[in-house]
Amino acid sequence: MASRKNKGVDSPSSNKATRGDRTVYSEFGDTHSAAFERGVQELPPNQQDLRIQASRKGRKGKTVTVISGFQLKPESLTALAKKLKAQCGSGGTAKENTIEIQGDHAQKLLGLLIEKGYRAKISGG
């Protein structure tokens, strides 16, 4: 049995340019760079309207308190989430412009956020 060799033809798996992004031409270079991301205007706490809501949707029946409406940089949002998680004694995460805290802590979070100067309300039933 004779083996076949591709002479002069690169296979797609060996060509580095076709492995990930299949862009042929880009006028402005790398479009995934930080220069093309939108800047986030970080407002002071008294100018932000926050909504606190307990949710179970898509979480297999587990209750999660979701705080939305932040206009902060991701670093500031992560730092605030860490403080709120410590005050509630539970886990959670910061995603996009929301903070999710595990468990139903709506009343406690409302007090903590108002104490920090945010305008917050509990929404939903």
Report domain extents, the chain.
45-122
H-run or E-run covering 81:
helix 74-88
- Say how many CA atoms lie within 13 Å of 47 toward its Cβ: 6
**Cα–Cα distance, 52 to 34 (Å, whole number):** 31
Report whether 103 contacts 64 (CB < 8 A): yes
Assign a CATH topology to domain 45-122. Answer: Translation Initiation Factor Eif1 (3.30.780)
Q: What is the pTM of this model?
A: 0.68
pLDDT in tens, 87-110: 999 999 999 899 999 999 999 999
pLDDT in tens, 49-102: 999 999 999 889 999 999 999 999 999 999 999 999 999 999 999 998 999 999
Asked whether the CA dihedral 75, 108, 117, 43 is positive or negative, the reply is positive
